[in-house]
Amino acid sequence: MILIHYGEIGIKGKNRAAFENCLVRNIRKALKGEIVKIRREYGRILIEEKEDANLNFIGERLSKIPGIENFSFVTVASPDIEDIKEKAFHIAKRMSFSTFRIAARRASKNFPYTSMKVNEIVGEEIRKKLGKKVDLENPDLTIFIEIGDKEAYVYKEKLRGIGGLPVGSQGKVVALLSGGIDSPVASWLMMKRGCSVIFVHFYNESLVASPKKIEEIIEKLTEYQMESKAYFIPFGRIQYDIVANVAAKYRMIIYRRIMAKVAEKIANKEGAKAIVTGDSIGQVASQTIDNILCIYAASKLPVLPPLIGMDKKEIVEMAKKIGTYEYSIKAYDDCCSFMVAKHPATKANLQDIEKMEERIKIDIEKIMEKAEIKEFSL
């Protein structure tokens, strides 16, 4: 069986059952076809996998589900010291190691031995029969034993999950997804905190034949939330309008304000409560505090930038870890070089910006009509 431990959702008081059910639903979706049964118990989830299940596949999937702290492939024993001893011995016997320790945890107080005593009894068995040495500090092998009311679990490793909260437990957000490195990471961080992320991407339809690269990024991110919805918005006309009507140094700010307005509209339609961007303070000219203030003021909904205090280096590292980096660095003309000014404004003033913006006719309804909506699933 597979034993799953979750972190934070274990401490959410009354909402606990809802959180756990959400996580169970997500696991079911991610492992469909591979499992026979899944049940939740106090503080853990147990999965019975199919006899011919692909364990690598299961491990791969579980390592990407927000809310899982760690998981283990376990041997089930009855809550009986003799059976536990035997199962632990059986695991140890097949391993090559010279030092070991036993780490028992007794969740059921009905069990007659303390955790310490279980460590001693099982440790003694392995020490004697296999001639191995106990090392509590830095052992080659740790055998974990978890004793519940009806069952005990014996296993040799805890595989790491990504932690966080189960997707869907914190409502929906709309993420502004560019072709760059940052916004996919920002979207991922929101998923990790339990939000379902709806993507919006704007592109110049006369320069980009198909936003295939963006789809690849969304496919990668869908591994973490299982299902995604994305809005692809042709934005060529607005870009040309901005170029025709706004001085070069302010173009990016106005452009981003209009994106925020469209995102807000989509959020309202989808029942999402916030907009997410990949901004990080000072990384580019549009990301100075003053400019961010001008851009975010375009939306009545809160705009959340989860990367705001991170360095580029840290963001790149994270992008590599989650697997979006290799797609992000592919060539893509998302926002046409002609929008980028040689000397962009770094201290925009909101009132000035709002005045400039009046020169551009923005018909959000019409923009929305042209949106192409795509659904993605694992």
Window 196-225: residues binding ligand ATP (CB under 6 A): 200-203
Residue 130: its H or E element: helix 115-130
Residues 6+ apart with CB under 8 A from 15: none
Q: Nearest to ligand ATP by Cβ — which residue? A: 180
Q: Compute the least distance from the CB of residue 200 to ligand ATP, in Å.
A: 6
Which has the closest alpha carbon to 217: 327, 61, 65, 332? 327
* Interface with ligand ATP (CB under 6 A), residue from 286, 288, 291, 324: 286
# residues contacting Mg ion (CB under 5 A) = 2
Binding residues for ligand ATP restricted to 85-144, rule: CB under 6 A: none
Exactly one of 169, 178, 280, 328 binds Mg ion (CB under 5 A); that residue is 178
By CB under 6 A, residue 183 contacts ligand ATP: yes
Helix orientation angle between 212-225 and 312-322, rounded to the nearest 10 degrees? 70
* Residue 115 CB contacts under 8 Å (≥ 6 apart), including other chains: 104, 105, 106
Q: How far is the CB of 122 from ligand ATP (least distance, A)?
A: 51
Angle between helices 81-93 and 115-130 (to 10 degrees): 40
Q: Enter the tokens of residue 88.
A: 């632990």
| Binding track, positions 301-340, relative to ligand ATP; x by CB under 6 A | ---------------------------------xx-----
Cα separation values, 2 from 27, 40, 73, 108, 335, Å: 12, 12, 5, 19, 46
Binding mask 139-178 for ligand ATP (x = CB under 6 A): -------------------------------------xxx
Query: How far is it, in rounded angstroms, from Cα 73 to Cα 55?
Result: 9
**Closest residue by Cα to residue 261 from 361, 190, 348, 338:** 361
**Cβ closer to ligand ATP: 92 or 303?**
303
Residue of 79, 123, 180, 306 that binds Mg ion (CB under 5 A): 180
Among 21, 142, 283, 346, binds ligand ATP (CB under 6 A): 283
Neighbours of 258 (CB within 10 A): 22
Binding partner at 231 among ligand ATP, Mg ion, none, C-beta below 5 to 8 Å by kind: none
Which residues are at the interface with ligand ATP (CB under 6 A)? Answer: 176-178, 180-183, 200-203, 256, 259, 277-279, 283-284, 286, 334-335
